Structure 1
């Protein structure tokens, strides 16, 4: 997963360089994930790879925006199946809308307003947290699903009063601030009105 995302990142930046060499400026609208916000104990290799991608884009000098999307899923035609918080179609529409909100220069990270609607239900308390953790490290090291299950198990093990502040799926304001400050990124939180980008300090 890390190699795949790194390859995609390098490909995008190479393409941008080709456009610039031809005298054409570009704007990058990137689909990212709220997983970039997850604290260490609840992080996965996928989340770390996507975090590195966002930081690489921001530091490359490219103009554009990365949207922190929730977990996506295909809407079911039946009502018996639980519905994902966001469909692929809704995410595509958000990316199109982001084009008009992209900065004229610099790179911003945007937290779409929809994150406020995401329920904090991405937990797993059905099995052993230790077993899920060891499974992701030993038996299924290359499985994104195994790492996700382990992270959700650890989240389910966390006391409820802390879980709300640490669950990246809802993009808590504290995690957004910590992310912006750590990497000195310009962040726009559309839940607070989507005002001017705020750059995290040290």
Structure 2
């Protein structure tokens, strides 16, 4: 599990351990004593590719005689634009390389990657983060056993539950880390071929109420994202949101990636050459669609 000490990793790890999985965490920093208990761990900065042979050696020792491996990529770094690009690029290359090494040794290897609905954003509304995760998605789509999961915005939200113990989401369409971890856990139970998943909130995303167009504000945020805030993910998000707000509501609902509209999702599926996306609701795993629909490949 890459990114095992992050918010999402800390939520997913105990679920996998409770299921009896042999979990090996990979992170830059040491985990908490609780997280490390019952798990193998490798501390490494994957942006230093010269250390990969050593990391692969440690992973092979910790794997022991395992015959099936799931590589989970939870790297969602947004500290700065520079570090984000480096982390996502390194994680992608490391996952692809590790999968190849283990496959060559005869192991059955699946990849479960946490991505974001931001990969659906049209060109004029993309941020450096959405562009980096989009490139990663295209790289992972070339694998023959991949679950690519598009997550909504994650945060500390009050869960809405359908029954005691179910994780939920906020009315804005964002999900708690616990809800996202629960969905990833459910998806990990599925035998992967090449699947694209959308994590949907139990209350659908709703676009913000129409507001007067703030053209001066949009210009200021665009300038800030290209100057003083060029290394700030928050500045780029603000600029994208301001541009989105300038659009008429009828257009905005079709290009706002937060709601994963079909107008954005279907072309993305075709670019990935993957089957139609499947939806999992936070706290409730939807029944799988008709197999003929799942297996139907979309071609450009």
Query: How far has the Cα of 1:13 moved from its partner?
Result: 1.4
Q: Distance in 2 between matches of 1:194 and 1:122?
A: 33
Preserved CA contact (<8 Å) 1:113 1:189: no
Q: Distance in 2 between matches of 1:7 and 1:176?
A: 26
Q: Distance in 2 between matches of 1:34 and 1:197?
A: 22
Q: Distance in 2 between matches of 1:53 and 1:180?
A: 14
Preserved CA contact (<8 Å) 2:116 2:151: yes
| Structure 1 equivalent of residue 4 of structure 2 | none
| Structure 2 equivalent of residue 169 of structure 1 | 258
Q: Distance in 2 between matches of 1:122 and 1:24?
A: 51
- Could you tell me which of 135, 150, 153 is aligned with 1:68? 150
Moved over 4 A (4+): 122-127, 191-194
Secondary structure in structure 1 of the residue aligned to 2:106? coil
Instruction: Tell me, yes or no, if structure 1 residue 199 matches structure 2 residue 297.
Output: yes
Render the CA deviation track for 1:123-167: whole Å, top value 9, x for unaligned.
996761011011101221111111111000111111111111110
Q: Distance in 1 between matches of 2:256 and 2:103?
A: 40
Which consecutive residues of structure 1, in runs of 5 or more, have no partner in the other structure?
none
TM-score by length of 1: 0.85
Q: Distance in 2 between matches of 1:115 and 1:38?
A: 22
- Which has the larger share of helix? 1
Structure 1 residues 172 and 32, CA gap change in structure 2 (3 angstroms): same
- Could you tell me which of 11, 19, 24 is aligned with 2:102? 19
Query: How far has the Cα of 1:115 moved from its partner?
Result: 7.5
Which consecutive residues of structure 2, in runs of 5 or more, have no partner in the other structure?
1-83, 160-169, 281-285
Range moving further from structure 2, 121-130 or 17-26: 121-130
Q: Give the superposed CA RMSD.
A: 2.7
TM-score by length of 2: 0.59
| Structure 1 equivalent of residue 129 of structure 2 | 46
